[in-house]
Amino acid sequence: MEKLSQPIERFDVKDKIAGEAKYCADLHPDGLIYARTLRATLARARILSISLPELPPDYVIVDHRDIPGRNVVPIVFEDQPFFAEQEVKYIGEPI
């Protein structure tokens, strides 16, 4: 039983203490693609149109039409859309 009360040294503790630990945000492999999510700024609103600025030719827009199958995130019920389609229901909802 004495083993249960003994501390276990983490494998990454020395790197973290020295400030040398690598996190996902520190990694930038060649060919890395960045993404940004447009989110609702209103708590409840209909989406009438989305105006986009002029984008460089290598940019891609992804919305609810690009989701294969059903546009839902099945957490508890399958009623949460991955991207809002015609209306947003809360501030911060992905469009």
CATH number at residue 72: 3.90.1170.50
**Does the structure show a pLDDT above 80 at 76?**
no
CA angle 30, 56, 52 (to 5 degrees): 125
Domain containing 87: what range? 34-51+60-95
Residue 1: exposure state from Cβ atoms within 10 A (0-12, 13-18, ≥19): exposed
**Does the structure show a pLDDT above 90 at 55?**
no
Q: What is the pLDDT averaged over residues 64-75?
A: 90
> Residue 67 corresponds to which tokens in the numbers above?
């989701």
**Does the structure show a pLDDT above 90 at 93?**
yes
Domain membership of residue 40 (yes or no) is: yes
Q: Per residue in 2-51, pLDDT tens?
A: 677 788 888 889 999 999 999 988 989 998 888 889 999 999 999 999 88
